[in-house]
Every structure is written in structure tokens, then in C-alpha cells.
Amino acid sequence: MSYFTRLTRTSFRRDSALVTVSHVSGDSADQPYQGSFRGKTHRFALRVYFEDTDTAGIVYYANYLRFMERARSDMLRAMGVDQRAALDSGEGVYAVAEAQIKYRRPAKLDDALLVVSRVREVRAASCVIHQRVMRGDEVLTDAIVTAAFLTPEGRPRRQPRHWVEKFERLIEEVE
């Protein structure tokens, strides 16, 4: 067990027998999956489940947008951007203002996918992110997403300066 892992044992009686249950907390298997950066590129792996598909086992087109949303949220978390604190404090939230997406090939039930995200541009109140959903080396979808920073009332607001600085360090030139 690692330093962060804790073993808990609970004993109780069931039908006159002593039952001891062991639980390991802090184990990485108990934590949500987190993507990671390789250089300036964020990578977020996922699996296609039955709920993601139609009756033919093909991923429903809108679910690619959900996959990319999860990857963008994970990318922000990995950058140190605390969206929840910004929301709770009334500072603002990100919302997709524009999405251009090209569907190239279908993903299927049980496919292992990778969402690759790269920051392309940072503006005062928005950022542009290039995202691809991949199966191995094969590009399934290719998208350019503009995420705007908005007040709780839905009006554009300048992003916090320290967030802009983090985004600027990740900008990649157009391929």
C-alpha cells in the first residue's frame, strides 16, 4: 500500500458469525480517471459503452460532443483552472459559443478512444481548442471549439488573467 492508501476493517455479526470486511481507500481504482498532458497536448482516453450507441452499435453523433466536453473539462482541471470555484464564487463559467465538427468515421461499441485537445488561440473572453477523437491512429472526428467565459447572467467576461497565462503557454501552431 502507498502512503495515501488506508486500510479499514469493519467487523460485525451476521447470523451469529463474525464478518470482517476490509476496504482499501485512496487506491487509484477508487478515483475518477484523469487525462494528462504530453507536451502541450492533452490526452483523455475513454471507452464506448452501450449507452453511447444506437441500436446498430454505432456512437450517436451528439455523443462525440460529450466526449470532447469531458476532455476539455479534464484539460482545464489538469491546467489548474478551478471551474467549480469560479462558478461558486459567481466569477463566471465556460460555455461553448461555437463548434465546427467533421465526422470522418464511426466509433463502435467497446472501442477504446482518445480525445486529443490542443489550445489554438486565446482571446480576452474565450479560447479556441482543436479536438480530435481518435481510435488508434485513425481520426474519427475533428473539431474546432470556441469556449467563451461568461458571467452567471450569460454575458461575455474577460477570463481571469492567470488562466489566460496558462492557456498561452499551451498554444500550438496550426498543423
| Residues 140, 111: Cα–Cα separation, whole Å | 11
Annotated active-site residue 74? The verdict is no
| Residues 46, 71: Cα–Cα separation, whole Å | 9
**φ, ψ (nearest 5 deg) of residue 69:** -60, -45
Locate 58 and state its grid cell. Answer: 454505432
| Residues 99, 89: Cα–Cα separation, whole Å | 27
Q: Which of 52, 54, 74, 82 is catalytic?
A: 54
CB neighbour list of residue 162: distance below 8 Å, 6 or more residues apart: none
Active site residues: 54
